[in-house]
Structure 1
């Protein structure tokens, strides 16, 4: 049989579905006759028989492979051996907390005076909380304090904290905020370990006050709205006083005095919170140590209303009042003050007697604190030298 070349030629298939031998042409579509040879009928039959036999064998192998695959897919134990499937079905190890804790550990490593921690040890002379509970309470306050430092720097746009870059400038704002939230949640878990519904209620109440106080502070700054002195002190009672109040209230809830009667520390703690915040604002404007740690008059960059600035805006001349307000407006636009602007603000504060006024206010609060300590010592019959030492460290 001789095959003629045709570009549209389709060779017939046999019963097994394979092309007949007349399909066998080279890559150039040349037939056997093109190469000078021809296939006899006997040769064609032999080749056809061979192809049919091979096709049957291939079908048997194919069917056998399909049976094996069906059996494999139906075998659930075999599927579990696949690593990609085992990830979805088995219990996985817990994620490390290293990443989320890193920003908080960074801020905790910064040098600080640890005023609240020292206050806890001093006040425990009166409240006599057992060592385990006291350690737990101190840890709670530390977690919250570190979280508040991270969030304060983000919200205030601070670039440095205690001589180092602010946490969000090292780890980024998203990680910093997430880490702060994690610390707050850890603090809640630590409160639960105290095993008292009263402690959980105390935590909730004081955290509520802290957020409210911070909200007012941020509102005044963002809107360049001057608060009154009374509004400022109320904000301090909420924002700064909250952690002091939480500390003492948690300690009072876990006191082991016999009988369990604790001295009234409420007014003392309020005064301590006010003294601490007003002093911190004053030192930010005047202290070389604060300049080294946070930069020169960092609070002016942030647009915070300190007691000194409020006093100046309420008591300076109309001309200087106008200058102060315009500088504050420019700070809001530029998101900071230049060195010359800061020096001008300080000159106006000094001329208005606002820095001296702040020192006088601190000394008055300090005298009231001393009076409260005297009264509590008289009621309890216990002298508190550690607290007096701490107060001496904070005097201006």
Structure 2
């Protein structure tokens, strides 16, 4: 005799019950990562507040908090996938989620949270107008899809340049690299600005945009990260070894600059080696590569100089509308103080 399952009620229900809580077991990788304090002390949240304070003056704090939540979910979900794609063992000083929960569940958790963020974003107009606005919801959804496409475009190039041998012998240009990180890292900065612009009533629609500044800040953020990855002891401590980008084979800005300005460098040999475990245990070789980038091709100095150059450009843009004590300028200067 078979069990009397309520199959009629089951098949007659809507599978996507928006009121049902997601099971903790499938959220575990995301929840784990989210619980680890960020190294950069929520810099994206601070930028969101600073942009709003200077340009948009949106007083609905529930709306601002919800935009912040959407961006945070996208960021953390992308880190879950990024750590798998980079075979990283540590994130923020602790073991990465996929080493704790397995790669399949972590991929699913990361992808799931992308759609959770998208769902939450489509609800933002209700916080703004207290009712459903299909046109505004469609605009918000379009922005998120745009930036997800940009993120995966940039991330895909980053991975390809890392894994393809021809990228070492025929590397991309500096301009191509900056375009890639503007897509990859700049996406969440642009997302902040573009969502704020959707709900900004202080200026007529489409008359002005701060997207160029957001693009510049994304580039600044990644250049800073590229530099510190090779020179900052704190990064080495959090990752468990020095020169993570070099060991992973990434064409970060100083590494790319070195390739473009040398014929036969130890960096080229290390990138062609593509044996991470050997490199992790060979601190002397990694140290020699970093020293070469400092003393021979001056790639570290080039990276630091470009960071300062773009910091000045960002300052010039911000000071067109603000005083020197504004929060956005303070955050930019603090970020670039390396």
Give the TM interval when normalised to the shorter protein: 0.7 to 0.9
Q: Tell me the SS of whatever aligns to 1:376.
A: coil
1:202 aligned partner: 143
Deviations 1:25-61 (A, max 9, x none): xxxxxxxxxxxxxxxxxxxxxxxxxxxxxxxxxxxxx
Instruction: Determine the C-alpha separation between the residues in 1 that align with 2:235 and 2:24.
Output: 31
Q: How does 1:293-312 map to 2 (within 5 A)?
A: 293-295=238-240, 296-312=242-258
Instruction: Determine the C-alpha separation between the residues in 2 that align with 1:306 and 1:271.
Output: 17
Deviations 1:93-143 (A, max 9, x none): 967521122111111111212111110011111212322221111111011
Q: Does 1:375 align with 2:320?
A: yes
The answer to whether the Cα contact below 8 Å between 1:127 and 1:262 also exists between their aligned partners in 2 is no
Q: How does 1:178-189 map to 2 (within 5 A)?
A: 178-189=108-119
Q: Tell me the SS of whatever aligns to 2:320.
A: helix
The answer to whether the Cα contact below 8 Å between 1:199 and 1:253 also exists between their aligned partners in 2 is yes
Q: Tell me the SS of whatever aligns to 2:250.
A: coil
TM-score by length of 2: 0.85
Q: How does 1:65-76 map to 2 (within 5 A)?
A: none
The answer to whether the Cα contact below 8 Å between 2:74 and 2:113 also exists between their aligned partners in 1 is yes
Say which of 308, 311, 327 aligns to 2:270.
Answer: 327
2:306 aligned partner: 361
Say which of 252, 261, 284 aligns to 1:340.
Answer: 284
Q: Does 1:173 align with 2:103?
A: yes
The answer to whether the Cα contact below 8 Å between 1:163 and 1:294 also exists between their aligned partners in 2 is yes
The answer to whether the Cα contact below 8 Å between 1:263 and 1:376 also exists between their aligned partners in 2 is no
List alignment gaps of at least 5 residues for structure 2.
Answer: 126-135
- CA offset at residue 259 of structure 1? 5.7
**Rg larger in 1 or in 2?**
1
Instruction: Determine the C-alpha separation between the residues in 2 that align with 1:143 and 1:275.
Output: 22
Say which of 118, 122, 126 aligns to 2:50.
Answer: 122
Q: How does 1:224-373 map to 2 (within 5 A)?
A: 224=165, 225=167, 226-257=171-202, 263-295=208-240, 296-316=242-262, 318-320=263-265, 323-332=266-275, 336-337=279-280, 338-351=282-295, 352-373=297-318
2:328 aligned partner: 387
Change (3 A) 1:278 1:235: same
Instruction: Determine the C-alpha separation between the residues in 1 that align with 2:325 and 2:200.
Output: 17
- CA offset at residue 393 of structure 1? 1.9
Q: How does 1:117-156 map to 2 (within 5 A)?
A: 117-125=45-53, 126-129=55-58, 130-156=60-86
Instruction: Determine the C-alpha separation between the residues in 2 that align with 1:335 and 1:219.
Output: 22
Instruction: Determine the C-alpha separation between the residues in 1 that align with 2:213 and 2:298.
Output: 28
Cα RMSD for the two superposed structures = 2.3
Q: Quick check: 165-174 or 250-259, which moved more? A: 250-259
- CA offset at residue 376 of structure 1? 2.9
- CA offset at residue 386 of structure 1? 1.6
- CA offset at residue 388 of structure 1? 2.0
Instruction: Determine the C-alpha separation between the residues in 2 that align with 1:371 and 1:383.
Output: 10
Instruction: Determine the C-alpha separation between the residues in 2 that align with 1:359 and 1:232.
Output: 16
2:36 aligned partner: 110
List alignment gaps of at least 5 residues for structure 1.
Answer: 1-78
The answer to whether the Cα contact below 8 Å between 1:272 and 1:369 also exists between their aligned partners in 2 is yes
TM-score by length of 1: 0.73
- CA offset at residue 384 of structure 1? 6.4
Q: Tell me the SS of whatever aligns to 2:200.
A: coil
